[in-house]
């Protein structure tokens, strides 16, 4: 596709369940970013990949959060043992190189009950 | 810590009026600056970017922004608001480096009154 694709668009899970969120970046984009956007707030950086290498995971809020990009294309953000405070929109962005503008997907809205 | 401040979480203007959304950053080192727009239930769309070239940057949909180093500001303007401009606007900065992660302001929700 032409843009960044994220799935699912909406995810509802019970507290304690594990979830997996998928991001399909723009073809050929080397850099991939994950952001978390709480209600009424701006997005906050979670983690960054250059190809398959995770170069920065300083924004991951706890060890329950894990991201991977094994073949340098599609990325998955996994949250284990979800908590209510994990409820947010998770945005994925990609760019050609690190210093090029980031193009965002429509996000996954995660609700933890 | 480096940060971005957007003054005014809600701004309301009349259709046809000037739009002014404010953004200030905290650093003596000029960053790369961006404005993004977010429509309900959608991701962020890039409006414009400043990357140390011309200080007056023109973007899409008639928006422009001026980088003022002395004021550490990058305010977004549009001469005449249209109903379709109603959305949330985010200012973002990056100081480069290996990550180039964006640091966002808290956003300004723009309402356009008929």
Across chain A, which has 113 residues, the per-10-residue mean pLDDT values are 90 97 95 94 94 95 96 96 97 85 94 96
Any A CB within 8 A of B59 CB: no
Q: Which residues contact A87 (CB under 8 A, 6 or more apart)?
A: A110, A111, A112
Six-digit token string for A37: 């956007």
Query: Within 10 Å of residue A96's Cβ, how many Cβ atoms?
Result: 14
Contact: A104, B90; criterion CB under 8 Å: no
For residues B100 and B45, is the Cβ–Cβ distance under 8 A?
no
Six-digit token string for B14: 């009349």
Contact: A106, B96; criterion CB under 8 Å: no
At residue B53 the predicted structure's pLDDT band, cuts being 50, 70 and 90, is confident
DSSP string computed for chain B: ---EE-S-SEEEEETTS-EEE--EE--SS--EEEEEEE-TTS-EEEEEEE-SS-SEEE-GGG-EEEEEGGGTEEEEEESS--GGG-EEEEEEEE--TTT---EE---EEEEEE-
Rounded percentage of chain B residues whose pLDDT exceeds 90: 70
pLDDT at A6: 97
pLDDT at A99: 67
Chain B partners within 8 Å of A29 (Cβ)? none
Query: What is the spatial distance between Cα B93 and Cα B1, in angstroms, rounded to a whole number?
Result: 13
For A99, which of B45, B96, B103 is closest by C-beta distance?
A: B96
Any B CB within 8 A of A99 CB: yes
Chain A partners within 8 Å of B105 (Cβ)? 42
Per-residue pLDDT tens digits for B54-106: 889 999 999 999 999 889 999 999 999 999 999 999 999 987 766 688 999 99
Q: Which residues contact A63 (CB under 8 A, 6 or more apart)?
A: none
Query: What is the spatial distance between Cα A102 and Cα B100, in angstroms, rounded to a whole number?
Result: 10
Query: What is the spatial distance between Cα B108 and Cα A90, in angstroms, rounded to a whole number?
Result: 20
pLDDT at B60: 94
Q: Which residues contact A1 (CB under 8 A, 6 or more apart)?
A: A24
pLDDT at B1: 67
Q: What angle do CA A89, A90, A92 make, to 5 degrees?
A: 140
Residue B51 in this model has a pLDDT that exceeds 90: no
Around A69, how many Cα atoms within 13 Å sit in the side-chain half-sphere?
Answer: 26
For A106, which of B42, B96, B98 is closest by C-beta distance?
A: B42
CA distance A9 to chain B (A): 9
For chain B, what is the mean pLDDT? 91
């Amino acid at each position: 596709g032409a843009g960044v694709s994220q799935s699912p668009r909406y995810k509802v899970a019970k507290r304690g369940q594990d979830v997996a969120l998928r991001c399909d970046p723009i073809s050929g984009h080397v850099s991939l970013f994950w952001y978390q956007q709480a209600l009424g707030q701006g997005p906050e950086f979670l983690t960054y990949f250059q190809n398959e290498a995770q170069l920065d995971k300083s924004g991951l809020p706890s060890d329950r959060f894990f991201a991977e990009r094994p073949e340098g294309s599609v990325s998955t953000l996994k949250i284990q043992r979800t908590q209510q405070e994990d409820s947010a929109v998770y945005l994925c962005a990609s760019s050609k190189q690190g210093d090029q503008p980031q193009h965002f997907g429509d996000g996954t809205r995660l609700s933890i009950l | 810590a480096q940060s971005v401040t957007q003054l005014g979480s809600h701004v309301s203007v009349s259709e046809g009026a000037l739009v002014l959304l404010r953004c200030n950053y905290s650093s003596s080192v000029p960053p790369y600056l961006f404005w993004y727009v977010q429509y309900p239930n959608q991701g962020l769309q890039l409006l414009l970017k400043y990357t140390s070239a011309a200080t007056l940057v023109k973007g899409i949909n008639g928006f422009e922004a001026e980088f003022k180093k002395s004021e550490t500001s990058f305010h977004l303007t549009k001469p005449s608001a249209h109903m379709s401009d109603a959305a949330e606007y985010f200012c973002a900065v990056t100081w480069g480096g290996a990550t180039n992660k964006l640091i966002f302001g808290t956003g300004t929700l723009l309402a356009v009154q008929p």
